[in-house]
Amino acid sequence: MAETEWWQRGPVDGVPPVLQPVAHILLQVLESVEEIVAPLAADEWNARPAGVASPAFHVRHMAGVIDRLFTYARGEALTDGQRAALAGEKEPVTPHDIPVIIAALGAQVHRAVAELRTVDVSTLGDFRGVGRKQLPSTVIGCLVHGAEHAMRHVGQLSVTVRVIRGGT
């Protein structure tokens, strides 16, 4: 475990100052998930104590929500592939899937941080419609929500894993 969280490690190279918190959250999501899931046995990834979402769901959902919200931030609609991935987030995983979904989260976080480096900060207040209903948001609203929503699931994952592992 790192001695400090990402927000305490200084700026992320190339990310505009106003977007540093988004980069820090995304990188913290990845680091935290890797630490939380490290002790899980393969059969624990699909566990749903008291009917809550499984660890597999949380890890998949984090990658997916970052991808979807950054898509909206670019002013784009979701693709059929993104909608299919969303529908598949609740599916159980096999032991073979585990390194794949962890790697997918890592790749998504690194793509998102790279994208933050390219954002024209003068557009942060620009309208962005979210979802089929085109609910009103902004570029910065989508970017921040993608990061903070993923971090919410880190908290849920942490508690779920602790319950699965019997409080250890």
- Residue-wise pLDDT for 69-96, tens only, equals 999 999 999 999 999 999 999 999 999 9
Q: How far is the first Cα of the chain from the last one, in angstroms, to the nearest whole number?
A: 17
pLDDT at 168 over 90: no
Token couple for 6: 């990402």
Q: Residues near 134 by Cβ (< 8 Å), separated by ≥ 6? A: none
- Give residue 67's pLDDT: 98
- Give residue 47's pLDDT: 96
Percent of the chain predicted with pLDDT > 90:
95
- Give residue 1's pLDDT: 53
Continuous segment of H or E residues that includes residue 101: helix 97-116
| Domains present along the chain, CATH in parentheses | 15-41+52-164 (1.20.120.450)
- Give residue 44's pLDDT: 96
Q: How would residue 2 be classed by pLDDT, with cut points 50, 70 and 90? A: low
- List the one residue out of 167, 17, 137, 159 whose CA is nearest residue 68: 137
| Residue 36: C-alpha distances to residues 67, 83, 133, 156 (Å) | 22, 27, 35, 11
- List the one residue out of 29, 65, 141 whose CA is nearest residue 37: 29
Q: How would residue 136 be classed by pLDDT, with cut points 50, 70 and 90? A: very high
Q: How would residue 61 be classed by pLDDT, with cut points 50, 70 and 90? A: very high
pLDDT at 167 over 90: no
- Give residue 129's pLDDT: 95
pLDDT at 135 over 90: yes
Please give the torsion angle defined by the CA atoms of residues 131, 123, 19 and 146, in that order, rounded to the nearest 10 degrees. 0
- Give residue 3's pLDDT: 84
Q: How would residue 66 be classed by pLDDT, with cut points 50, 70 and 90? A: very high
Q: What is d(CA 167, CA 104) in angstroms, rounded to the nearest whole number?
A: 28
Token couple for 44: 């624990």
- Give residue 84's pLDDT: 92
